[in-house]
Amino acid sequence: MQPTRSPATHEVDLLVIGAGAGGMAAALAASLMGLEVLVCEKAAQVGGTAATSAGTIWIPGNRQSREAGFEDSADAARRYLDGLLADPADGRALREVYLARGPAVVDWFAERSEVRFVPCGRHPDYLDRDGAAVSGRALVAAAYDGRRLGAAFADVRPPIPEFMVFGGMMVGKDDIPRLVNRFASVANFMHAARLFARYVGDRLRHPRGTRLVMGNALVARLYASLLQRKVPVRLGTRLESLSSENGRVTGARLRDGQDVFEVRARRGVVLATGGFARDAASRQRWMPVPAPVDSMAVPSDTGDGIAAALAAGAQASGRSHGSGAFWTPASRTGRDTSKGQWAGLFPHLSLDRAKPGLIAVNGAGRRFANEADSYHHFIEAMFASHARTPPIPAWLVCETRFVQTYGLGAIHPGTTDLRPHLLAGCFVAAPSLGHLAQAMNVDAAGLAETVARHNRFAETGVDEDFRKGHSELNRFNGDPAHGPNPCIGRIGDGPYCAMAVWPAEIACSSGLETDAQARVLDAAGQPMPGLYACGNDLASIMRGTYPGPGTTLGPALVFGFLAAEHAASQPAEVDTPAERTDAATAATTAAESLTA
């Protein structure tokens, strides 16, 4: 397969700006509904932040999990979501259409394209509330063989280096224990051997491994499906402004290097440019003060779609969406000494914070949160504590033997020589808590008292301060072989180490307000004809809350589909009666297949 790039294409049915998960889903759905589509992506590769993510989608009531034996319902998910929101009526229409149509959208793509998902099984929602589920709501894209893309494999943005081993091999969460314990059983050894042999063969022909998992698998499946349908994808092409006529968005002005050109879109424009994460002014406007500087977003996510829509009269969500983003604690990895800055970030999502024998402390050496809570809720606690005793950065404190057993950030389990990581400045180590506190620049007495108190909790298995280990999510990410609490273990006599973590957003929750058909709303709350938004350009339907794994990618796919469906149902500005009938029939057929 080869990507189709058509610089001469200046009039299409639907123009999609952005080739992340939401944009490619919208383009693929529109093409499958019979529309002529053009995708323009600012970056040199497709995928956006979705390509570097864990790739999970949160779809309550999905068929894949039900067939695997995990029961769930939209009614239970509705109760759960209503219990998370201060005002359940806010955004209810969007969540209702998401719950009603999400499972069928997943099936619709699976039946017509390469976009297929498999159930995650036990993967708890992030808060223990009425309607929460332990299993059945999380799906992940099936692994994909990047070799099937041919030369177009180079167009897929790779994961962050911290998510790969041996310089380019992707591993999923299920691979990690089998790799770490590769000598524990024949099955583990054979699995590890197969992965390594495949990777060695890949590196003879490719710059990285071609066994794609997590978000990279999702992006590759979407891109492969677009290529199969010969949908033009223009890389290195950015949005400059939207075009309007008689109150309707009719296209856009775009730039490809020095070439500036207009694209007329007969049925509309879909904005899917990745949100505002890399725009400093927008971070100051919508994020907590002081706005965090670290971001897991790709560099191209500078808010182009939101800015163009606002200039055309659109409405943005403002500060009504919690802290403006969804967050993870992130450690800074590998200092680039030539530039005097950090070269990367590692998101501490689930692999270390919940394990027994680790605590997180602030500048006073005191705990401020349940370390085993979800990445987003951990950072919310960090923000809440900051006004009293600044925990930014916070420090993850443990013994060096903890790192050998469980890993810490980008330091893999089984690592015994920590010197390269110490030299890189990724973390600090010391023989005593006093020396560790000095290296961390935190209060030594406070740290010593905190460790002593935590060790008393380890004996009883009850965290009297933050209830670590009490929730389904806590226990899921803890060590089931450790008791009496899988998340609390004694911090012994050392040697000790600590790693600093900062708030970094994984997605924006503030963005453009839309209706339940993904139509962008104007300042008066009315749909703007011809303009749609999905992905991180769309204000989160969860209104700043974070219910479970895949809170952003699930809506990105569903509302990308809904944008395409609505656009396909509309009359084109210039078309023949036959073309209008064909497109309307395709959209009607798609809608009927989803409700059958």
Q: Give per-residue pLDDT as tens, 8-21.
A: 558 999 999 999 99
- The tokens of 362 are what? 């602030």
* Listed residue (266, 153, 284) closest to 208, CA to CA: 153
Higher confidence at residue 588 or residue 459?
459
pLDDT at residue 288 is higher than 60: yes
Full-model pTM: 0.91
Q: How confident is the model at residue 592 (pLDDT cuts 50, 70, 90)?
A: low
Confidence at 337, pLDDT banded by 50, 70, 90: very low
Residue 320: band (very low, low, confident or very high) from pLDDT cuts 50, 70, 90: low
pLDDT band at 596 (very low <50, low <70, confident <90, very high): very low
Can you say how many angstroms the Cα of residue 143 is from the centroid of all Cα atoms in its chain?
Answer: 17
Q: Which helix (H) or strand (E) holds 68?
A: none
pLDDT of residue 522: 95
What pairs with residue 498 in β-bridges?
397, 428
How many Å apart are CA 136 and CA 70, to the nearest integer?
5
Does pLDDT of 575 surpass 80? no
Per-residue model confidence (pLDDT) at position 200? 85
Give percent of the chain with pLDDT exceeding 90: 73
Strand order in the sheet with 117-119: 56-58, 138-141, 117-119
* HEC sequence for 103-132: HHHHHHHHHHCCCCEEECCECCCCCCCCCC
Task: Give CA–CA dist 303/18, Å, rounded.
Answer: 11
Residue 175 pLDDT exceeds 80? no
Per DSSP, the three-state class of 470 is coil
How large is the average pLDDT for residues 498-526? 95
Helix (H) or strand (E) holding 145: strand 144-145
Is residue 10 within 8 A of residue 264, CB to CB? The reply is: yes
Coil, helix or strand at residue 413:
coil
The band of 178, judged by pLDDT with boundaries at 50, 70 and 90, is confident
CA distances from 480 to 111, 350, 456, 475, 487 (A): 38, 14, 20, 7, 9
Amino acid sitting at position 215: G
Residue 259 pLDDT exceeds 60: yes
525 and 510 Cβ atoms separated by less than 8 Å: no
User: Could you identify the residue written with the tokens 């359940």?
Assistant: 88
CA 273 – CA 280 distance, rounded (Å): 16
Please tell me the distance from the alpha carbon of residue 380 to that of residue 378, in angstroms, as a whole number. 5
Q: How far apart are CA 225 and CA 589, in angstroms?
A: 20
Please state, in angstroms and rounded to a whole number, the distance separating the CA atoms of residues 34 and 39. Answer: 15
pLDDT for 335 equals: 54
- pLDDT the model gives residue 323: 85
- Chain position carrying tokens 């949908």: 231
Please give the Cα distance from 235 to 494 (Å, whole number). Answer: 52
pLDDT band at 168 (very low <50, low <70, confident <90, very high): confident
- Of 194-203, 408-417, 463-472, which one has max mean pLDDT? 463-472
Q: Which DSSP letter does residue 146 get?
A: G
Does 422 score more than 90 pLDDT? no
Is the per-residue pLDDT at 403 higher than 60? yes
Residue 105 CB neighbours (<10 A): 25
Determine the Cα–Cα distance for residues 180 and 174; give it in Å rounded to an integer: 11
Q: How far, in Å, CA of 444 to CA of 451, rounded?
A: 11
Q: Is the pLDDT of residue 582 over 70?
A: no
pLDDT one-digit tens code per residue, 128-155: 999 999 999 999 999 999 999 999 999 9
What's at 484, amino acid-wise? P
Q: pLDDT at position 245, please?
A: 95
Question: What does the alpha-carbon distance between residue 267 and residue 570 come to, in Å, rounded to a whole number?
Answer: 7
Minimal CA–CA distance to 451: which of 357, 348, 351?
Answer: 357
- Which residues touch 44 (CB under 8 Å, ≥6 apart)? 235, 236
- In 313-362 the beta strands, taken as DSSP E runs, fall at 325-336, 341-347, 359-361
Gyration radius of the chain's alpha carbons: 24
* pLDDT-derived band at 573, boundaries 50, 70, 90: low
